[in-house]
Amino acid sequence: MDELNLQAAGGNLLTLGSLDNPNKMPFKGVLTYLGVPSDNPPGGSGGLKVMIPVDVGQSALDSLKGMPVNLAASLDAHDTDAIVGIIEESFLGEETDKGVPVYISGHIFAKSFPDEARVIKASQSLLGFSYETARTKLGMGIYHGETVAVAQSLVFTGAAILYKDSAAYESTSLAAKKDTSEKDTSEGEVNELKDETNKEVIEETLEAEATENAENVDQKSEESAEEVQAAADEEKPADKKTDEETEEETTEEDEKPEDKKEGR
C-alpha cells in the first residue's frame, strides 16, 4: 500500500489550565483510541474506517512531541496553515471499552492568537482533537465482521482542534472531522478505478471522434456535391454551344451539293 496522509480521530477535548505565561494556555486530552476502528472514515482512508493497532500507535507516540496544533476558522476541518499551539507530551492511558487512549498535552499561544484562544476556551465542551499523520501505510483487516483499514505504520505530524460532532470517533468528546474524501486503499483498487476511468474516457473520446468524423464526412460530401454541381453548371453552356455549332456545320454541308448543282 502506498504511503498516505490521514486526518482523523478524536478524544476528550482539551482541559485548559492556568496562564502562568500569558502566551501559554495549557491543554490536555485524548487524541484518539488505539485498537478499535474509527466510527467514521477519516480523510485519506478510501472511505474505510481506520484502526491503529496498539503496537503501531505506541511506536509512533514519540513523533507527537513538538508537533503543531491547528485551528480552522470554521472549526470543522483541518487547516495546517493555521497553527495556534504545540504538543509537548503524549502517553497511553489504561485500556477501556473504547480502546487504549492516546493522551496529549501542550499549550495554545494565547497572546499570539487571542481570538482563537477565546473561541477555544468558550467552546471547549463542543470541541475535540483530530490527529494528522504522514508516511501512513494501510492494510486491510476484519474487525467484528467489518472490513477496515488497518494502520501498519505511521508518523504523527500534528493535531487539529474542531467540533466533536464532526468526529471520526463519535464516542469521544474530542474528535476529528468526518471526511468522505475518496482515496484508494489498495493498489488493486487504485488500478481498478483507473481502468474504469480510463475506459470511460476512451469510450467518450472515441464517441466524440466518431461524431466529429461523421460531421466531417457529411460536410465533405456536401462540399463535393456542390463542387460537382458547380462543375456541371459550367459545362452546360459549352455543351449547348457545341450542339449549335454542330447543327450549323451540318447545315452548311447539306447546302454545298445544292450550290454545286445550281452552278451547273
pLDDT digits (tens, 9 = 90+) for 28-58: 988 999 999 987 787 778 889 999 999 999 9
Measured distance CA(186)–CA(12) in Å, rounded: 32
Contact between 109 and 24 (Cβ < 8 Å): yes
259 falls within a domain:
no
Question: What is the predicted pLDDT for the residue at 45?
Answer: 81
Q: What is the pTM of this model?
A: 0.60
65 falls within a domain:
yes
More confident residue, 7 or 162: 162
| Entry field: residues in the chain | 264
- Judgement on whether residues 55 and 142 belong to the same structural domain of the protein: yes
Grid cell of 234 as nine digits: 459550367
261 falls within a domain:
no
Domain count, the chain: 2
Q: Report CA torsion sign: 55, 56, 60, 64.
A: negative
- Judgement on whether residues 126 and 237 belong to the same structural domain of the protein: no
Predicted confidence (pLDDT) at residue 121 exceeds the cutoff of 60: yes
Q: End of a domain among 139, 162, 183? A: 183
The three-state secondary structure class of 213 is helix
Range from 104-108, 157-161, 186-190 carrying the lowest mean pLDDT = 186-190
Contact between 10 and 168 (Cβ < 8 Å): yes
Q: Which of these, 29, 11, 16, 10, lies nearest to 118 by C-alpha position?
A: 16
Q: End of a domain among 183, 201, 234? A: 183
Which tens digits make up the pLDDT trace of 184-236? 334 444 345 445 544 554 555 566 666 666 666 667 667 667 776 776 666 65
Measured distance CA(215)–CA(211) in Å, rounded: 6
Q: Which residues of the chain form beta strands (DSSP E)? A: 3-4, 7-8, 25-34, 50-51, 68-71, 83-92, 100-108, 127-143, 146-163
163 falls within a domain:
yes
Q: End of a domain among 183, 205, 232? A: 183
263 falls within a domain:
no
- Judgement on whether residues 219 and 169 belong to the same structural domain of the protein: no
- Judgement on whether residues 33 and 117 belong to the same structural domain of the protein: yes
Return the number of other C-beta atoms located less than 10 Å from residue 102's C-beta. Answer: 27
Measured distance CA(140)–CA(50) in Å, rounded: 9
What mean pLDDT value characterizes the chain?
75
Question: What is the predicted pLDDT for the residue at 163?
Answer: 85
Predicted confidence (pLDDT) at residue 135 exceeds the cutoff of 70: yes
Measured distance CA(76)–CA(72) in Å, rounded: 7
pLDDT above 90 as % of the chain = 41
Longest dimension (CA), the chain: 150
Which tens digits make up the pLDDT trace of 224-261? 677 767 766 666 554 445 555 555 555 555 555 555 44
- Judgement on whether residues 70 and 200 belong to the same structural domain of the protein: no
121, 215, 218, 234, 243 from 224: Cα distances, Å: 80, 14, 10, 15, 28
Grid cell of 194 as nine digits: 483507473
- Judgement on whether residues 23 and 154 belong to the same structural domain of the protein: yes
Range of the domain at 244: 186-254
